[in-house]
Structure 1
Amino acid sequence: MTETLCVALGAFVGAPVRYLLSSRYDAALPWGTLAVNVAASLLLGMCTGGALTGDALALLGVGFCGGMSTYSSFAVQTRDHGPRRGATYAALTLGLGLGAAALGFAVTS
Protein backbone atom coordinates (compact mmCIF):
# COMPACT_ATOMS: atom_id res chain seq x y z
CA MET A 1 0.00 0.00 0.00
CA THR A 2 2.85 2.40 0.73
CA GLU A 3 4.27 2.08 -2.78
CA THR A 4 0.85 2.87 -4.25
CA LEU A 5 0.69 6.09 -2.23
CA CYS A 6 4.22 6.98 -3.33
CA VAL A 7 3.23 6.52 -6.98
CA ALA A 8 0.18 8.73 -6.45
CA LEU A 9 2.20 11.44 -4.70
CA GLY A 10 4.87 11.42 -7.42
CA ALA A 11 2.25 11.67 -10.16
CA PHE A 12 0.53 14.47 -8.21
CA VAL A 13 3.72 16.52 -8.63
CA GLY A 14 4.83 15.26 -12.07
CA ALA A 15 1.59 15.81 -13.97
CA PRO A 16 1.35 19.55 -13.20
CA VAL A 17 5.01 19.97 -14.22
CA ARG A 18 4.16 18.40 -17.57
CA TYR A 19 1.07 20.56 -17.97
CA LEU A 20 2.89 23.81 -17.15
CA LEU A 21 5.81 23.15 -19.49
CA SER A 22 3.65 21.85 -22.31
CA SER A 23 1.15 24.68 -22.13
CA ARG A 24 3.93 27.27 -21.99
CA TYR A 25 6.28 25.95 -24.69
CA ASP A 26 4.11 23.94 -27.11
CA ALA A 27 3.30 26.41 -29.86
CA ALA A 28 4.39 25.85 -33.45
CA LEU A 29 6.48 22.89 -32.32
CA PRO A 30 5.93 20.79 -29.17
CA TRP A 31 9.12 21.84 -27.36
CA GLY A 32 7.53 21.53 -23.91
CA THR A 33 6.38 17.96 -24.49
CA LEU A 34 9.78 17.07 -25.92
CA ALA A 35 11.50 18.60 -22.88
CA VAL A 36 9.37 16.78 -20.31
CA ASN A 37 9.72 13.44 -22.09
CA VAL A 38 13.51 13.76 -22.35
CA ALA A 39 13.84 14.99 -18.75
CA ALA A 40 11.67 12.12 -17.48
CA SER A 41 13.77 9.66 -19.48
CA LEU A 42 16.99 11.03 -17.97
CA LEU A 43 15.60 10.91 -14.44
CA LEU A 44 14.16 7.43 -14.91
CA GLY A 45 17.53 6.23 -16.20
CA MET A 46 19.13 7.69 -13.08
CA CYS A 47 16.50 6.04 -10.87
CA THR A 48 17.04 2.60 -12.37
CA GLY A 49 20.83 2.89 -12.53
CA GLY A 50 21.12 4.05 -8.94
CA ALA A 51 20.29 2.36 -5.71
CA LEU A 52 16.63 3.39 -5.60
CA THR A 53 14.22 0.63 -4.68
CA GLY A 54 10.83 0.26 -3.06
CA ASP A 55 9.12 3.47 -2.03
CA ALA A 56 11.78 5.80 -3.45
CA LEU A 57 11.63 4.16 -6.88
CA ALA A 58 7.82 4.18 -6.75
CA LEU A 59 7.79 7.89 -5.86
CA LEU A 60 10.37 9.16 -8.33
CA GLY A 61 10.55 6.55 -11.08
CA VAL A 62 6.98 5.37 -11.48
CA GLY A 63 5.07 8.32 -9.98
CA PHE A 64 6.97 11.47 -10.87
CA CYS A 65 8.49 10.32 -14.17
CA GLY A 66 5.29 8.58 -15.20
CA GLY A 67 3.21 11.62 -14.34
CA MET A 68 5.58 14.04 -16.02
CA SER A 69 6.12 12.15 -19.27
CA THR A 70 3.40 11.73 -21.86
CA TYR A 71 3.15 9.22 -24.65
CA SER A 72 -0.38 10.20 -25.64
CA SER A 73 0.49 13.85 -26.32
CA PHE A 74 3.61 12.74 -28.17
CA ALA A 75 1.53 10.45 -30.40
CA VAL A 76 -1.13 13.07 -31.16
CA GLN A 77 1.45 15.80 -31.83
CA THR A 78 3.39 13.47 -34.12
CA ARG A 79 0.25 12.82 -36.16
CA ASP A 80 -0.81 16.49 -36.14
CA HIS A 81 2.49 17.65 -37.64
CA GLY A 82 2.05 15.51 -40.73
CA PRO A 83 4.30 12.90 -42.31
CA ARG A 84 7.57 14.83 -42.63
CA ARG A 85 7.55 17.03 -39.52
CA GLY A 86 5.82 14.32 -37.50
CA ALA A 87 8.44 11.73 -38.42
CA THR A 88 11.22 14.19 -37.58
CA TYR A 89 9.61 14.98 -34.22
CA ALA A 90 9.13 11.27 -33.47
CA ALA A 91 12.74 10.44 -34.33
CA LEU A 92 14.01 13.37 -32.27
CA THR A 93 11.87 12.44 -29.26
CA LEU A 94 12.78 8.76 -29.36
CA GLY A 95 16.49 9.37 -29.99
CA LEU A 96 16.85 12.00 -27.28
CA GLY A 97 14.71 10.04 -24.84
CA LEU A 98 16.67 6.82 -25.26
CA GLY A 99 19.96 8.71 -25.12
CA ALA A 100 18.91 10.55 -21.97
CA ALA A 101 17.81 7.31 -20.29
CA ALA A 102 21.11 5.63 -21.19
CA LEU A 103 23.07 8.65 -19.93
CA GLY A 104 21.14 8.72 -16.65
CA PHE A 105 21.69 5.00 -16.17
CA ALA A 106 25.42 5.28 -16.97
CA VAL A 107 25.96 8.23 -14.64
CA THR A 108 24.42 6.46 -11.65
CA SER A 109 25.66 2.90 -12.26
Structure 2
Amino acid sequence: MNQPWALLAAALAGGAGAALRFAVDSALNTLRRTDFPIATSLVNLTGSLLLGLLTGVALGHGNSPAWLTIAGGGLLGGYTTFSAAAVESVRLLEQRRYRAGALTSLGMLIAGVLAAGAGLLVGYWLRAA
Protein backbone atom coordinates (compact mmCIF):
# COMPACT_ATOMS: atom_id res chain seq x y z
CA MET A 1 0.00 0.00 0.00
CA ASN A 2 2.04 2.90 -1.31
CA GLN A 3 -0.70 5.51 -1.45
CA PRO A 4 0.09 8.36 0.99
CA TRP A 5 -3.60 8.97 1.65
CA ALA A 6 -4.11 5.39 2.81
CA LEU A 7 -2.43 5.95 6.20
CA LEU A 8 -4.79 8.79 7.01
CA ALA A 9 -7.77 6.81 5.72
CA ALA A 10 -6.81 3.78 7.86
CA ALA A 11 -6.42 6.01 10.93
CA LEU A 12 -9.83 7.62 10.36
CA ALA A 13 -11.41 4.21 9.75
CA GLY A 14 -9.80 2.90 12.95
CA GLY A 15 -11.32 5.76 14.90
CA ALA A 16 -14.71 5.05 13.35
CA GLY A 17 -14.35 1.37 14.25
CA ALA A 18 -13.50 2.21 17.86
CA ALA A 19 -16.54 4.52 18.06
CA LEU A 20 -18.72 1.78 16.59
CA ARG A 21 -17.38 -0.71 19.15
CA PHE A 22 -18.14 1.75 21.94
CA ALA A 23 -21.71 2.20 20.67
CA VAL A 24 -22.35 -1.54 20.30
CA ASP A 25 -20.73 -2.32 23.65
CA SER A 26 -22.71 0.40 25.43
CA ALA A 27 -26.00 -0.68 23.89
CA LEU A 28 -25.49 -4.36 24.70
CA ASN A 29 -24.25 -3.71 28.22
CA THR A 30 -27.46 -1.85 29.07
CA LEU A 31 -29.42 -4.97 28.06
CA ARG A 32 -27.27 -7.71 29.57
CA ARG A 33 -28.25 -9.55 32.70
CA THR A 34 -24.99 -11.43 33.21
CA ASP A 35 -21.34 -10.80 34.05
CA PHE A 36 -20.28 -12.72 30.95
CA PRO A 37 -18.67 -10.29 28.44
CA ILE A 38 -21.29 -10.82 25.75
CA ALA A 39 -20.74 -7.42 24.13
CA THR A 40 -17.00 -7.95 23.62
CA SER A 41 -17.67 -11.47 22.36
CA LEU A 42 -20.26 -10.30 19.85
CA VAL A 43 -18.03 -7.46 18.63
CA ASN A 44 -15.07 -9.79 18.14
CA LEU A 45 -17.15 -12.45 16.38
CA THR A 46 -18.83 -10.03 13.98
CA GLY A 47 -15.50 -8.32 13.32
CA SER A 48 -13.83 -11.66 12.55
CA LEU A 49 -16.66 -12.67 10.24
CA LEU A 50 -16.57 -9.35 8.37
CA LEU A 51 -12.77 -9.36 8.05
CA GLY A 52 -12.91 -12.90 6.65
CA LEU A 53 -15.60 -11.82 4.19
CA LEU A 54 -13.65 -8.75 3.04
CA THR A 55 -10.46 -10.78 2.68
CA GLY A 56 -12.21 -13.51 0.68
CA VAL A 57 -13.61 -10.95 -1.72
CA ALA A 58 -10.30 -9.08 -1.98
CA LEU A 59 -8.30 -12.22 -2.77
CA GLY A 60 -10.29 -12.48 -5.98
CA HIS A 61 -8.39 -9.44 -7.20
CA GLY A 62 -5.05 -11.25 -6.85
CA ASN A 63 -3.60 -8.78 -4.35
CA SER A 64 -4.40 -6.95 -1.16
CA PRO A 65 -5.92 -3.64 -2.27
CA ALA A 66 -5.71 -0.47 -0.20
CA TRP A 67 -9.41 -0.62 0.64
CA LEU A 68 -8.86 -3.96 2.41
CA THR A 69 -6.17 -2.42 4.61
CA ILE A 70 -8.38 0.56 5.36
CA ALA A 71 -11.57 -1.41 5.99
CA GLY A 72 -9.92 -4.49 7.53
CA GLY A 73 -6.97 -3.12 9.45
CA GLY A 74 -8.50 0.28 10.12
CA LEU A 75 -12.26 -0.03 10.61
CA LEU A 76 -12.45 -3.65 11.79
CA GLY A 77 -9.14 -3.40 13.66
CA GLY A 78 -10.60 -0.48 15.61
CA TYR A 79 -13.91 -2.30 16.03
CA THR A 80 -12.58 -5.57 17.43
CA THR A 81 -10.72 -5.75 20.71
CA PHE A 82 -8.44 -8.59 21.71
CA SER A 83 -7.11 -6.68 24.70
CA ALA A 84 -10.55 -6.16 26.26
CA ALA A 85 -11.33 -9.87 25.79
CA ALA A 86 -8.04 -10.78 27.48
CA VAL A 87 -8.69 -8.48 30.45
CA GLU A 88 -12.24 -9.78 30.81
CA SER A 89 -10.93 -13.36 30.81
CA VAL A 90 -8.39 -12.56 33.53
CA ARG A 91 -11.05 -10.73 35.54
CA LEU A 92 -13.27 -13.83 35.44
CA LEU A 93 -10.36 -16.05 36.48
CA GLU A 94 -9.56 -13.71 39.38
CA GLN A 95 -13.16 -14.10 40.51
CA ARG A 96 -12.61 -17.87 40.44
CA ARG A 97 -15.14 -18.20 37.64
CA TYR A 98 -12.95 -20.67 35.81
CA ARG A 99 -15.59 -22.01 33.42
CA ALA A 100 -16.60 -18.51 32.30
CA GLY A 101 -12.92 -17.49 32.00
CA ALA A 102 -12.09 -20.51 29.88
CA LEU A 103 -15.17 -20.02 27.73
CA THR A 104 -14.29 -16.37 27.22
CA SER A 105 -10.68 -16.97 26.26
CA LEU A 106 -10.62 -20.33 24.49
CA GLY A 107 -14.18 -20.07 23.23
CA MET A 108 -13.54 -16.66 21.73
CA LEU A 109 -10.39 -17.88 20.01
CA ILE A 110 -12.13 -20.89 18.49
CA ALA A 111 -15.31 -19.01 17.61
CA GLY A 112 -13.31 -16.11 16.11
CA VAL A 113 -11.32 -18.44 13.87
CA LEU A 114 -14.51 -20.23 12.80
CA ALA A 115 -16.23 -16.89 12.08
CA ALA A 116 -13.27 -15.67 10.04
CA GLY A 117 -13.22 -18.96 8.12
CA ALA A 118 -16.95 -18.70 7.42
CA GLY A 119 -16.44 -15.14 6.20
CA LEU A 120 -13.63 -16.26 3.90
CA LEU A 121 -15.80 -19.01 2.43
CA VAL A 122 -18.67 -16.61 1.78
CA GLY A 123 -16.20 -14.11 0.31
CA TYR A 124 -14.80 -16.77 -2.04
CA TRP A 125 -18.35 -17.71 -3.02
CA LEU A 126 -19.31 -14.09 -3.68
CA ARG A 127 -16.15 -13.58 -5.70
CA ALA A 128 -16.93 -16.58 -7.88
CA ALA A 129 -20.56 -15.58 -8.41
Q: TM-score, normalising length from structure 2?
A: 0.77
Whole-angstrom distance in 1 between the partners of 2:23 and 2:105: 22
**Which residue, out of 8, 13, 16, partners 1:10?**
13
Query: Unaligned stretches of 5+ in structure 1?
Result: none
Partner residue in 2 for 1:69: 80
Native 8 Å contact 1:49 1:104 kept in 2: yes
The one-letter code sitting in structure 1 at the alignment partner of 2:50 is: L
Distance in 2 (CA, whole Å) between partners of 1:23 and 1:30 is: 12
Structure 1 residue 55, shift from structure 2 partner: 2.4
- Give the distance between the partners of 2:106 and 2:26, measured in 1 at CA: 22
Is it true that 1:87 corresponds to 2:102 in the alignment? yes
Q: Find the structure with the greater CA-based Rg.
A: 2
Q: Please give the residue correspondences for 1:1-109 in structure 2 after superposition, counting only pairs within 5 Å.
A: 1-26=4-29, 28-51=35-58, 53-82=64-93, 83-109=98-124
Q: Percent identity?
A: 35
SS in structure 1 of the partner of residue 58 of structure 2: coil
Gaps of 5+ in 2: 125-129
1:51 CA displacement: 2.2
RMSD of aligned Cα (Å): 1.5
Q: Take 1:41 and 1:22, find their aligned partners in 2: how far apart are those partners?
A: 16
- What is the Cα deviation at residue 57 of structure 1? 0.7
Q: Is the 8 A contact 1:11 1:63 kept in 2?
A: yes
Deviation string 1:54-79 (CA, Å, 9 cap, x unpaired) is: 32112211101100000110000001
